[in-house]
Amino acid sequence: MSEKIFIALAWPYANGPLHVGHLAGVYLPADIFARYHRLRGSDALMISGSDCHGTPITLCAEREGITPEQVIERHHPSFLNTFRTLGISFDLFTQTLTENHYQVTQEFFRRLSENGCIYRETMIGSWTETLKRFLPDRYIEGICPRCEYDQARGDQCDRCGRLHDPWELLEPHSTLDGLPVTFRETDHYFLDLARLQPELGAWLQSEDRAYWRQNTLQFTQNWLKEGLRGRAITRDIEWGIPVPACPEDDPAFKTKRFYVWFDAVIGYVSASIEWAERNGAPDQWKEWWDAREAQSARVRSYYFLGKDNIPFHTIVWPAMLIGYGGRTLPYDAPASEFMTLEGERMSSSRNWAIWLPDIESAYQPDQIRYYLAANSPESRDSNWSWSDFIRRNNDELLGTWGNLAHRVLTLAWRNFGAVPAPDELREADRRLLEFAAEAFSNVGGLIEAVKLRAALQAIMALAQRANQYLSEEQPWFLIKTDRSRAASVIYTGLVVVDWLKTLLCPFLPHSSQRLHELLGYQDVIASLPGIEKTIDSDGRERLVLSGKYDSSNRWEPVPIPIGQSLEQPTPLFQKLEESVIEEERERLRRQTQGNEGGIKSNGSCIQAS
């Protein structure tokens, strides 16, 4: 029976382009995971979208003197381009500005409220006397009461991960003018996390979560140990989803909006609904989300995110789903660590980052994918270094894998034009084929456990072994002395290259598709997403990324048909010159110099990280 795998990706704020750290930590691992499951014949649904609300957007708009919509119109299409170019195979990448999302969010709130999971309370807002208005938490900075980090944000400490309220900070001040803020009373709705804690705890303990990553598990357990308390879901801000008059009408709430985290996590549901509607089967989303349907279909939901986002996905969102009732809870939330750049922490405000729009066309997409997958910040921080990028490209991707495929294909094409019929296979041939066949279950098991780095290592070890086999058998000499033995060796090589192509397909879809064609296959093994225009119910034109992906079972060691004609091979990967290292480092230096105060060199701004 095929499995149903729901793959949710944390929604990126549409306030700046994506950098390599985002790709390495969230989008690429999720794509590898989704592509693998489709190759296995599973039903995978991969969704996300641009997060268009909240202070990251308003901060950006204010800095540049434009509207929040203009900020989004600048960055949402850039996300779509990046994902299309790099082959991130979303079933739907939408945005939170849709009518559908507004309705789903408001309905979610009403239901939570009816179920007694929302309460109203007077809280303390951060007030700026100079601007005479309330300031959102992100406009506040101060000293973290737990770890004493002196640049803790009003809502969360970036160093220790503590979530808090601004008045808990020591020396709180406004980031707009650096002046101290005062605190005033204002009414808000709260999610009653304390009430939901027992059920949440029971859910967490309902199975052994040892398959969760250490960081995910620890964060979650620590949080629960501290004891949950209510969390405000509305804010005094003009930009966001209006709060419906519920449970009682109150003009005070007309000026308030949902807090951005609240509507962003609900986006996982609203995007699924939008996907089903676009698919012409409006109820299909329930197969994933209706707990009863999902249980009988054995749905497993994976949330890919950076470690700073863990509490929202293992505590707050599951609590909201429990409070709503009858919805599928997360199965896993594989959180990544951070990626540094040339040994230093990436920083948007210093413009110390590699922006994907700057490199996505300069290198082959699979060169970028390979480096980030092989060097993924999966279980510990990793580092992007240009010299390592060049080395891994030339030695591993091209040296170990590209050359293997090219050598075997060239020998086969020149001497036979098609997959040659082998003579009787010898011990060395059979040993390699057995080793290669076993890789399907080994690598598959690693990918299912979201150990993608180890999976790629196992595949590269197989490529290495195939290279060794060729060096020992020397088919380029055999072809002159013993053509039938040469045919057996080249056949064995082709079978292994073909299987490596399948094993690598989730990681390297572009080159795997190309190799698939060189091997004489006519069909598509690695579909790519496309950008589509869509008209929202309010008549507004929007862009989304989506695609139709094959999900026939191919994750099996089936030998390539004897006699299948081959195409004339050309190399899969480009060699990169050593001079690239200095050029790219120079570009980074110029980039940091041409930029101050959080404005990127191309004029777009993004929240300091």
Contact yes or no for 89/164 (Cβ under 8 A): no
CB of 148 to Zn ion, least distance (A): 7
The overall longest dimension of the chain from CA atoms, in Å, is 91
Residue list 76-105, contact with Zn ion (CB under 5 A): none
Which of residues 150 and 283 has its CB atom nearest to Zn ion in the complex?
A: 150
CB of 223 to Zn ion, least distance (A): 14
Binds Zn ion by CB under 5 A, chosen from 160, 245, 524, 558: 160
Which of residues 57 and 152 has its CB atom nearest to Zn ion in the complex?
A: 152
Within 8 A by CB and 6+ apart from 36, the residues are: 444, 447, 448, 506, 555
Q: List Cβ<8 Å contacts ≥24 apart for 461-467.
A: 462/435, 462/436, 462/496, 462/500, 462/503, 463/400, 463/401, 463/404, 463/500, 464/400, 465/432, 465/435, 466/404, 466/432, 466/436, 466/493, 466/496, 466/497, 466/500, 467/400, 467/403, 467/404
CB of 607 to Zn ion, least distance (A): 18
Which of residues 38 and 162 has its CB atom nearest to Zn ion in the complex?
A: 162
Residue list 162-201, contact with Zn ion (CB under 5 A): 162
How far apart CA 313 and CA 294 sit, in angstroms, is 19
Helix axis angle for 55-64 and 68-86, nearest 10°, is: 110
CB of 312 to Zn ion, least distance (A): 17
* Site size with Zn ion, rule: CB under 5 A: 8
**Phi, psi of 500, deg, nearest 5:** -60, -35
How far apart CA 546 and CA 530 sit, in angstroms, is 6
- CB 385: neighbour CB atoms within 10 A? 18
Q: Which stretch binds Zn ion (CB under 5 A): 113-121, 146-154, 391-399, 420-428?
A: 146-154
How far apart CA 466 and CA 497 sit, in angstroms, is 8
Q: Which stretch binds Zn ion (CB under 5 A): 18-26, 137-145, 275-283, 548-556?
A: 137-145
Q: Which stretch binds Zn ion (CB under 5 A): 8-16, 153-161, 397-405, 440-448?
A: 153-161
CB of 259 to Zn ion, least distance (A): 20
Which of residues 219 and 239 has its CB atom nearest to Zn ion in the complex?
A: 219
Q: Hey, what amino acid is at 468? A: Q
Q: Which stretch binds Zn ion (CB under 5 A): 87-95, 144-152, 367-375, 562-570?
A: 144-152
* Contact pattern from residue 476 through residue 495 relative to Zn ion, giving x for each residue in contact according to CB under 5 A and a dash for the rest: --------------------
Binds Zn ion by CB under 5 A, chosen from 64, 73, 149, 379: 149
Tokens matching residue 463:
């490529």
CB of 466 to Zn ion, least distance (A): 49
Q: Which stretch binds Zn ion (CB under 5 A): 29-37, 159-167, 200-208, 367-375?
A: 159-167
CB of 160 to Zn ion, least distance (A): 3
CB of 20 to Zn ion, least distance (A): 26
Taking the chain, what is the end-to-end CA distance rounded to the nearest angstrom?
A: 44
* Site for Zn ion contains 146 (CB under 5 A): yes
Which of residues 157 and 359 has its CB atom nearest to Zn ion in the complex?
A: 157
* Site for Zn ion contains 157 (CB under 5 A): yes
Tokens matching residue 373:
């997958």
Binds Zn ion by CB under 5 A, chosen from 124, 131, 147, 558: 147
Q: Hey, what amino acid is at 561? A: P
Which of residues 148 and 577 has its CB atom nearest to Zn ion in the complex?
A: 148
CB of 156 to Zn ion, least distance (A): 9
CB of 154 to Zn ion, least distance (A): 12
Q: Which stretch binds Zn ion (CB under 5 A): 156-164, 307-315, 441-449, 552-560?
A: 156-164
How far apart CA 152 and CA 142 sit, in angstroms, is 5
**Which helix (H) or strand (E) segment is 83 a member of?**
helix 68-86
Which of residues 68 and 161 has its CB atom nearest to Zn ion in the complex?
A: 161
**Residue 345 DSSP code:** E
Which of residues 146 and 465 has its CB atom nearest to Zn ion in the complex?
A: 146
- SS3 assignment, position 343: coil
How far apart CA 453 and CA 435 sit, in angstroms, is 20
* Site for Zn ion contains 61 (CB under 5 A): no
Q: Which stretch binds Zn ion (CB under 5 A): 130-138, 140-148, 185-193, 217-225?
A: 140-148
Which of residues 149 and 476 has its CB atom nearest to Zn ion in the complex?
A: 149
CB of 158 to Zn ion, least distance (A): 8
Cα 281 to Cα 269, 298, 499: the distances in Å are: 15, 20, 36
**Residue 37 DSSP code:** H
Which of residues 43 and 158 has its CB atom nearest to Zn ion in the complex?
A: 158
Tokens matching residue 439:
């890789």
How far apart CA 310 and CA 220 sit, in angstroms, is 8
CB of 153 to Zn ion, least distance (A): 10
Which of residues 111 and 146 has its CB atom nearest to Zn ion in the complex?
A: 146
Contact yes or no for 235/257 (Cβ under 8 A): yes
The separation between CA 265 and the C-alpha centre of its own chain, rounded to angstroms, equals 15
Q: Which stretch binds Zn ion (CB under 5 A): 74-82, 138-146, 482-490, 565-573?
A: 138-146
Q: Which stretch binds Zn ion (CB under 5 A): 117-125, 150-158, 205-213, 313-321?
A: 150-158
How far apart CA 485 and CA 475 sit, in angstroms, is 8
Dihedral of the alpha carbons of 341, 345, 349, 353, in degrees to the nearest 10: 10
Which of residues 159 and 465 has its CB atom nearest to Zn ion in the complex?
A: 159
Contact yes or no for 213/379 (Cβ under 8 A): yes
Residue list 393-422, contact with Zn ion (CB under 5 A): none
Radius of gyration of the chain (CA): 26
CB of 191 to Zn ion, least distance (A): 22
CB of 381 to Zn ion, least distance (A): 18
Place of tokens 């013993």: 482
Which of residues 169 and 439 has its CB atom nearest to Zn ion in the complex?
A: 169
How far apart CA 484 and CA 424 sit, in angstroms, is 9
Which of residues 160 and 562 has its CB atom nearest to Zn ion in the complex?
A: 160
CB of 149 to Zn ion, least distance (A): 5
Residue list 345-384, contact with Zn ion (CB under 5 A): none
Which residues of the shown chain bind Zn ion in the complex (CB under 5 A)? 144, 146-147, 149, 157, 159-160, 162
